[in-house]
Chain A
Amino acid sequence: MGKVIVITSGKGGVGKTTTVANIGTGLAMLGNKVVVADADIGLRNLDVVMGLENRIVYDIVDVVEKVCRLKQGLIRDKRYEGLYLLPAAQTKDKSAVNPEQMLELCNELKEEFDYVLIDSPAGIELGFQNAIAGADESIVVTTPEISAVRDADRVIGLLEAKGLNSPKLIINRIRPDMVKKGDMMNIEDMIDILAIDLLGVVPDDEAIVVATNRGEPVVVNESALAGKAYNNISRRIIGEEVELLNFKQEEGKFSKIMKILFSK
Chain B
Amino acid sequence: MTQDLVVFKGTQDGVYIYIREGSFDSIKEELDIKLRKSGAFFKGGKIVDFKGKRLSSNELEELKDIVKDKHHLKIVERKKVKEKDFFTGIKEGMTKFVKTTLRSGQSIEYKGNVVIFGDVNPGSIVISGGNIVVLGSLRGVAHAGCSGNKNAIVAAFSLQPSQLRIADLIARRPDEDIEEPKWPEIARIEGNEVIIERYLPKK
Contact = CB atoms under 8 A, between A and B. Distances in A.
B163 A78 contact: no
Interface in B105-156: 105-107, 122-125, 141
- Chief secondary structure at chain A's binding surface: loop
Contacts of A78: 175
B51 interface: no
A57 interface: yes
Interface string A30-68: 000000000000111000100101111100000011100
Nearest to A41: B105
Contacts of A66: 56-58
Contacts of A95: 21
A53 B122 CA distance: 9
A96 interface: yes
Interface in A75-105: 78, 90-91, 95-96, 101
B99 interface: no
B175 A90 contact: no
The range of chain A's interface size is 20 to 34
Contacts of A51: 175
Interface in B52-73: 54, 56-58
Nearest to A91: B107
Interface residues of B, number: 20
- Chief secondary structure at chain B's binding surface: loop
Interface in A120-140: none
A91 B122 CA distance: 12
B56 A65 contact: yes
B105 A91 contact: yes
B106 A57 contact: no
Contacts of B107: 91
Contacts of B56: 64-66, 101
Interface in B157-178: 162-163, 170, 172-173, 175
A48 to B, nearest CB: 8
A105 to B, nearest CB: 11
B39 to A, nearest CB: 29
B162 A91 contact: no
B26 interface: no
B81 to A, nearest CB: 17
B128 to A, nearest CB: 15
A53 B162 contact: yes
A159 B61 CA distance: 35
Given A66-B56, A66-B57, A54 B105 contact: no
A54 B172 CA distance: 6
A54 B104 contact: no
B85 to A, nearest CB: 18
B105 A90 contact: yes
13 contacts: A42-B105, A43-B105, A44-B123, A53-B122, A54-B162, A54-B173, A55-B172, A56-B141, A78-B175, A90-B125, A91-B106, A91-B107, A96-B54
